[in-house]
């Protein structure tokens, strides 16, 4: 850093420029300093006279370290830190010319007496209101006439200058817009009074800063892909709309919209096509609502529409149907027609909530109910949905707690071979501890586990534990046992399934034929190539495969022949109807006949009575499972039973 002492007066200008951030402070003090110099010697605290001096400390980056300082020492010199140099005399005009701001000095009447180099350069280069204005012009008149040229703040700035000249203000700053040439420019104007009369005016262009602020505001409040308000701006508008609706006693509706099958389109056609689809959806949504309504994108394929005001409840249904109809028409993406639809949930102020967060939450719940109803529909929120949501949240919490703190439990149920009466297999059945409220059954938690994805780590835990237990049971029972493990659709389609199963077989040194993987018939209805490939990969490990709940998914015989399966498990709803329903007996007889012709075994599940047991034996079933045989029991009870059977067999 170099310390530069400057005597006020004309002299050679030093090279370099003061940083613009310090210019305002520098110049204000400079004007005051000049007045003190004009009046002569200054007086110290004890009344001693001294000659005022001006010291400016400038860093290498151009910042002023001591913007302006009055000192009481000798000759004015330039004193670099590294080495002394010759004295440098710098005059006020030269200092002002070195500043990047446009600066003018005016007298008490507002007449311009001096302009610096930056002012002159800007005025010559198409400087809008400053074009051609210089010494001799009345700056107050320039400001007032600038209003006609598009500078709306011209009169305000002129009024502020008068207040400074009359001593009512010491200084004043104003940010203003002024057209200049073909562009639009923003400035900060600053007026400072000095004691000798008149004022100093500076202008600093901040157009780039304003553009950056506008860009930042746009990114903060608008979705960059669609140009729609984002979650932040939508929440603000919804809060304002709610306040107005409350004042005016209006109704207001929040529509939560989720595109159906968007992920499939995005995955198959690519993200560019997905982006194009979202833009197309945006345009159609805008065409379905009124000017007073708001359409926003929350992210992904989720949109929110705020309808305000709602004069009649039927207006909501009308707009919701209009949106559904608009979105079912095909979109052309990359020359191909693509079809999508939407599920819409509706929450209404004030009946469904008076808070923005509550209304959005309730509309979201209603949207999920719309998806459950089959998609491409709209659903109004009901209080029951909220109760269900609270219950589901409780179940999810219980699952996460059980997974992390040892709250998962396996129970087991035997399968009996009808020909020998022996236990031929054991099915692992999951239970979840729910604090002091007992055990959660699969019907209570499976749907939540599947939706949240928790079913995958839970299923991995089941597979590891059940595989370890199977090896120890072999030694106790003395005969080969199959262990049946259920897979949900999400587990079955997990890329970790096959490697995890192979690892369990290797670690526990199990014969792969001892593991039976059960998948539901409904999972195979889609008949996707990926699912068929996954079944074949499982079969290559050597495990057996069973189709659970058979009789509910309408599988064709031709499809059964194509799949590498070993067993069909007839659904309990058909089995339990056998004693009283002739059609049920016909169905079971047909399934058994077809299965045996294909080389498959048949298991009847849900056998709860001796009568069912006997009829199923007569109908040719190979194996039964149900309460008639044994209830699902903890491992300790299963081991006791297996031990008794082993002794009896011996």
Give residue 17's pLDDT: 46
The Cα 192–Cα 169 span in angstroms is 9
Average pLDDT over residues 630-646: 81
Which residues of the chain does CATH 3.30.70.270 include? 223-381
- Given strand 171-180, what is the order of strands in its sheet? 112-115, 102-106, 199-205, 183-193, 171-180
The closest alpha carbon to 367, from 453, 279, 304, 323, belongs to 304
Q: Is 40 exposed, middle or buried (CB count within 10 Å of its CB: 0-12, 13-18, 19+)?
A: exposed
The Cα 638–Cα 641 span in angstroms is 5
Q: pLDDT digits over 179-234, tens only? A: 665 567 788 888 888 777 888 888 888 888 878 877 777 788 899 899 999 998 99
Q: pLDDT digits over 533-558, tens only? A: 999 999 999 999 999 988 765 556 66
pLDDT band at 349 (very low <50, low <70, confident <90, very high): very high
pLDDT at 295 over 70: yes
pTM for the model stands at 0.55
pLDDT band at 78 (very low <50, low <70, confident <90, very high): very low
* Coil/strand/helix, residue 201: strand
Give residue 241's pLDDT: 93
Give the torsion sign (CA, 470, 476, 477, 478).
Answer: positive
The Cα 477–Cα 646 span in angstroms is 5
**Lookup result for tokens 């339990």:** 576
Give residue 7's pLDDT: 34
CB 317 within 8 A of CB 271: no
CB 560 within 8 A of CB 598: yes
- Mean pLDDT, the chain, whole residue set: 81
Of 174-178, 461-465, 582-586, which has the strongest mean pLDDT? 461-465
Give residue 10's pLDDT: 26
The Cα 357–Cα 238 span in angstroms is 10
Of 93-107, 144-158, 322-336, which has the strongest mean pLDDT? 322-336
Average pLDDT over residues 578-605: 91
pLDDT band at 319 (very low <50, low <70, confident <90, very high): very high
- Concatenated DSSP letters for 371-431? HHTTSS-EEE--HHHHHHHHHHHHHHHHHHHHHHHT-EEEEEEEEEETTT--EEEEEEEEE
Report the CATH superfamily, name and number, of domain 102-221.
Answer: PAS domain (3.30.450.20)
Q: Which residue has the higher pLDDT, 397 or 137?
A: 397
Give residue 196's pLDDT: 72
Which residues of the chain does CATH 3.20.20.450 include? 405-649
% the chain with pLDDT above 90: 38
The Cα 94–Cα 313 span in angstroms is 74
CB 110 within 8 A of CB 133: no
The Cα 413–Cα 429 span in angstroms is 8
The Cα 562–Cα 557 span in angstroms is 9
CB 50 within 8 A of CB 72: yes
Q: pLDDT digits over 4-29, tens only? A: 333 333 223 333 444 555 555 555 55
pLDDT at 74 over 70: no
As separate numbers, helices (DSSP H) first and strands (DSSP E) second, the chain gives 22, 28
Which residues of the chain does CATH 3.30.450.20 include? 102-221
Assigned CATH topology for domain 223-381: Alpha-Beta Plaits (3.30.70)
CA separation, residue 324 to residues 34, 306, 327, 336, 357 (Å): 75, 16, 5, 21, 25
Report the CATH superfamily, name and number, of domain 405-649.
Answer: EAL domain (3.20.20.450)
The single-letter DSSP state of residue 524 is G
Give residue 148's pLDDT: 64
């Amino acid at each position: 850093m170099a310390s530069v002492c400057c005597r006020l007066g004309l002299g050679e200008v030093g090279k370099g420029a003061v940083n613009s951030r310090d210019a305002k402070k520098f110049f204000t003090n400079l004007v005051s300093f000049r007045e003190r110099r004009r009046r002569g010697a200054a007086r110290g605290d004890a009344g001693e006279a001294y000659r005022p001096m001006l010291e400016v400390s400038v860093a290498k980056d151009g910042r002023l370290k001591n913007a302006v300082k009055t000192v009481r020492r000798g000759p004015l010199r330039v004193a670099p830190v590294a080495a002394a140099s010759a004295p440098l005399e710098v005059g006020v005009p030269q200092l002002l010319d070195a500043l990047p701001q446009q600066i003018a000095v005016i007298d008490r009447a507002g007449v311009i007496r001096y302009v610096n180099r930056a002012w002159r350069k800007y005025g010559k280069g198409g400087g809008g209101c400053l074009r051609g204005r210089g010494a001799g012009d009345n700056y107050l008149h320039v400001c007032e006439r600038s209003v006609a040229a598009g500078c709306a703040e011209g009169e305000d700035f002129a009024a502020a200058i008068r207040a400074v000249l009359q001593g009512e203000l010491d200084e004043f700053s104003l940010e203003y817009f002024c057209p200049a040439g073909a562009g639009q420019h923003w400035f900060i104007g600053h007026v400072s009074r000095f004691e000798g009369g008149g004022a100093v005016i500076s202008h600093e262009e901040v157009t780039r800063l304003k553009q950056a602020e506008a860009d930042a505001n746009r990114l903060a409040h608008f979705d960059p892909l669609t140009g729609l308000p984002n979650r932040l701006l939508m929440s603000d508008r919804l809060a304002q709309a709610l306040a107005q609706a409350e004042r005016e006693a209006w109704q207001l509706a929040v529509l939560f919209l989720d595109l159906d099958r968007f992920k499939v389109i995005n995955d198959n056609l690519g993200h560019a096509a997905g982006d194009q689809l979202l833009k197309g959806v945006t345009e159609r949504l805008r065409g379905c609502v009124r000017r007073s309504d708001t359409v926003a994108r929350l992210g992904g394929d989720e949109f929110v529409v705020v309808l305000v005001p709602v004069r009649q409840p039927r207006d909501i249904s009308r707009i919701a149907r209009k949106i559904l109809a608009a979105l079912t028409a095909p979109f052309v993406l990359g020359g191909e027609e693509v079809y999508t639809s939407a599920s819409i949930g509706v929450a209404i102020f004030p009946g469904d909530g008076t808070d923005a967060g509550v209304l959005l939450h309730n509309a979201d719940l209603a949207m999920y109910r719309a998806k459950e109803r089959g998609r491409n529909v709209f659903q109004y929120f009901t209080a029951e949905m909220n109760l269900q949501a609270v219950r589901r949240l409780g179940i999810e919490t219980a699952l996460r707690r059980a997974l992390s703190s040892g709250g998962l439990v396996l129970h087991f149920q035997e399968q009996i071979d009808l020909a020998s009466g022996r236990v031929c297999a054991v099915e692992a059945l999951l239970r979840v501890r729910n604090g002091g409220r007992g055990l959660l059954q699969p019907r209570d938690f499976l749907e939540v586990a599947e939706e949240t994805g928790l079913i995958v780590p839970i299923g991995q835990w089941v597979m590891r534990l059940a595989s370890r237990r199977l090896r120890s049971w072999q030694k106790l029972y003395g005969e080969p046992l199959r262990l049946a493990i259920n897979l949900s659709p999400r587990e079955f389609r997990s890329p970790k399934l096959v490697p995890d199963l192979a690892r369990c077989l290797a670690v526990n040194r199990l014969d792969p034929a001892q593991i039976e993987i059960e998948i539901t018939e409904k999972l195979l209805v889609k008949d996707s190539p990926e699912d068929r490939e996954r079944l074949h990969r499982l079969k290559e490990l050597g495990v057996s495969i069973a189709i659970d709940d058979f009789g509910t998914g309408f599988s064709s015989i031709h499809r059964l022949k194509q799949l590498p399966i070993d067993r069909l498990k007839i659904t309990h709803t058909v089995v339990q109807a056998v004693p009283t329903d002739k059609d049920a007996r016909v169905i079971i007889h047909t399934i058994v006949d077809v299965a045996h012709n294909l080389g498959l075994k048949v298991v009847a599940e849900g056998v709860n009575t001796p009568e069912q047991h006997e009829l199923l034996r007569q109908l040719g079933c190979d194996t039964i499972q149900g309460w008639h045989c044994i209830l699902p029991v903890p491992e300790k009870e299963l081991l006791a039973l297996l031990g008794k059977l082993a002794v009896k067999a011996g």
